[in-house]
Amino acid sequence: MGVVYVLNSSDYSPISIGDKYLYQEYDKVASFLKRNFESSVHSILAKPVLANGAIQWHAEVDVPLTRIGDLSADIQVRIKKRYWKIKEELEKEIYILENSNNAEKKKWGSILRQIFDDENNVLLTDGDFWCLMWGWKFKNKKENYLPPEFLADTAPSPAPVPLLEETQLEDEVIPLPQEPVHELHPKRKSSFWYGLKRLLRNFVYRFWGLLMFILLVLFLWCLSQKCSRDECAEVDALNKELDALNAQINERCLESAQ
């Protein structure tokens, strides 16, 4: 594997997973992909190596690669089509893993979800071969965007490769028990609710500050409304007590005057 790209490690924050960083799991992830997915996925991830404050990205080519945003529009569309087609295929398998009753499969679903998040993927290519930088918070969704008219050409193949083996996050590799066959084909209704849940979660993540501001404004408005009401029962009671005290004071003053 040759060095295809170099980044300054201080420019980006690494993504954490448990007590480790996501990029530290490269070897286990690469082994998992080779055991459970088609060959088109095997070389999709560039290997990150930290050296002297830089991230050296290694891939199965010996020439430097270019970030896709620096290439011509036709190359960008061609490579993004391939990227999004694979992402759609992986999405089905990630969904199955995330919703499995097996704890190890759930863990792998979470790992793959973070690895193949287009927000934190950077495509590198020479116009033909391509791979991904991943594992850091690149905030790169805009560069990876592919207009809907091109997405129509990226429909995944109808028969994804079933997951037959699982790789433990420890050093050893053991097969996991098979899940029921019906789990490999989630119902559309479940996919709809899952998509709705992700939409709401993403909305809250993006706009939580605005939601908190709105709640604060509503709270202050309700508080001011309550404090400014003249018909408040406590205010009436205090006014009556003041009137009674004034009456007693007047009576005393009259008695003293006589």
What is the reported pLDDT for 247?
77
Taking the C-alpha atoms of residue 135 and residue 80, their distance in angstroms, rounded to an integer, is 19
pLDDT tops 80 at residue 119 = yes
DSSP 14: B
Of the two residues 118 and 175, the one the predictor is more confident about is 118
What is the reported pLDDT for 131?
96
pLDDT in tens, 75-99: 999 999 999 999 999 999 999 999 9
Q: Where are the alpha helices (DSSP H) in the chain?
A: 26-36, 39-42, 73-98, 103-115, 141-144, 148-151, 188-228, 233-257
pLDDT band at 171 (very low <50, low <70, confident <90, very high): very low
N-term to C-term CA, the chain: 113
What is the reported pLDDT for 256?
65
